[in-house]
Amino acid sequence: MKRAILFSVFATLLTAAFFATRSEAQPNSVKEVVPGVWFREGDILKEGHCNNTIIEMKDYLIVIDANFPSGARAALADAQKVSKKPVKYVFDTHHHGDHAYGNAVWTKQGAITLAYAGVAEELKRYEPKRWQDTAKQRKDVGELNLSTAEPPKETFTKSPHVISDTTRRVEFHFFGWAHTHGDGFAYLPKEQVLCTGDAATNGPYNFVADGNVGNWPKVMENAQKLKVKYVLPGHGPNGGPEILEGQKQFMIELHKAAQAAVKAGTNPEDAKLPDSVKNWIGPQLKSQLKSAAEEIKQKKPAGDLPH
Ligand SMILES: [Zn+2]
Ligand SMILES: [Zn+2]
């Protein structure tokens, strides 16, 4: 009995500590990171939204990530508050619903949805099943009355793909398979701003089932070769290059812990990760460890295994 009470006190403290470390989170806030570039922090806990970045060009705006339909509308409203220019391009960093299911909302506004070719391939791999499951659970997706996710209207295979005008250059990069086969990054070389999608998150938001845990650190290393001052992640608050390094270290530790468990024949889900990567440790840890262990046992990326 006493132990149960103690545990419950401990659990409450843990929860408090968890939210305390997230106190810098500011869902639905919009801040100008450098002149003409705004970071909108999505409400992941209540709405499941991703973050968005709004980039002002000479005559139009580029928005990073389509978000879910309700997130798309919120991001569009905020874009219209910071600039009178129309949204011309929306870049899907990857195929997940919280980044791409709002595509139809943006194209209806006249925007062109854009992605690395791997995003369209992932949609072919996983849809229409995920869309149809999500449409039953999310009102904003169901209300679109579509049978499947709208793929990006334009795709590119050569990295980087560049959009530029007299005011700014925006590069769209593919660095390899981390979170999904299609992970795209948006990079502003002059301003040293990098939008990472979910390949790098600031907090415990790494869904690894479609991913490649073993290759993830290499993708971060490729991103780290860019000159970066501002990192705008797919989820969690914005920050600097420490997000890339922390994300890399978390994947290295996850892989290491899973490998040790596989070698010792113990349950990988019981493995512990060091405190140095605690910013990325959360409720998904057990499933992340399981995916990493399967990847090691079956010698295939988690995303290529049945899931
Ligand atoms: Zn996401
Ligand atoms: Zn994702």
Ligand 1: centre distance to CA 155 (Å): 20
Of all ligands present, the nearest one to the C-alpha of 207 is 2
With b meaning 16 or more CB within 10 Å and e meaning fewer, what string describes 228-256?
bebbbbbbbbbbebebbebbbbbbbbbbe
Ligand 2: centre distance to CA 17 (Å): 25
For β-strands 112-116 and 154-156, DSSP reports them as parallel
**Could you tell me the CA-to-CA distances from 103 to 27, 143, 256 in Å, in that order?**
21, 14, 37
Rounded CA Rg of the chain: 19
Ligand 2: centre distance to CA 87 (Å): 23
- Alpha-carbon distance of 160 to 186, in angstroms, equals 9
Ligand 1: centre distance to CA 102 (Å): 13
Ligand 2: centre distance to CA 153 (Å): 20
pLDDT at residue number 24: 80
Ligand 1: centre distance to CA 173 (Å): 18
Of all ligands present, the nearest one to the C-alpha of 48 is 1
Ligand 2: centre distance to CA 180 (Å): 7
- Alpha-carbon distance of 239 to 236, in angstroms, equals 9
Of all ligands present, the nearest one to the C-alpha of 201 is 1
- Alpha-carbon distance of 280 to 201, in angstroms, equals 8
Query: What six digits make up the tokens of 67?
Result: 């978000």
pLDDT at residue number 233: 98
- Alpha-carbon distance of 113 to 149, in angstroms, equals 12
Ligand 2: centre distance to CA 115 (Å): 14
Ligand 2: centre distance to CA 295 (Å): 19
**DSSP category for residue 215:** T
Query: What CA dihedral angle connects 211, 215, 218 and 223, to 10 degrees?
Result: -20
pLDDT at residue number 22: 45
**Could you tell me the CA-to-CA distances from 140 to 97, 113, 282 in Å, in that order?**
11, 19, 27
pLDDT at residue number 25: 86
Ligand 2: centre distance to CA 206 (Å): 8
Ligand 1: centre distance to CA 252 (Å): 21
Query: What six digits make up the tokens of 86?
Result: 């129309």
Q: Which residue numbers in the chain have pLDDT < 70?
A: 1-23
Ligand 1: centre distance to CA 263 (Å): 32
**DSSP category for residue 111:** P
Of all ligands present, the nearest one to the C-alpha of 44 is 1
For β-strands 184-188 and 193-197, DSSP reports them as antiparallel
Ligand 2: centre distance to CA 1 (Å): 41
Ligand 1: centre distance to CA 5 (Å): 36
For β-strands 112-116 and 87-91, DSSP reports them as parallel
Contact 153, 113 (CB under 8 A): yes
Q: Is 0.85 surpassed by the pTM of this model? A: yes
- Alpha-carbon distance of 39 to 168, in angstroms, equals 17
Ligand 2: centre distance to CA 207 (Å): 7
Ligand 1: centre distance to CA 96 (Å): 7
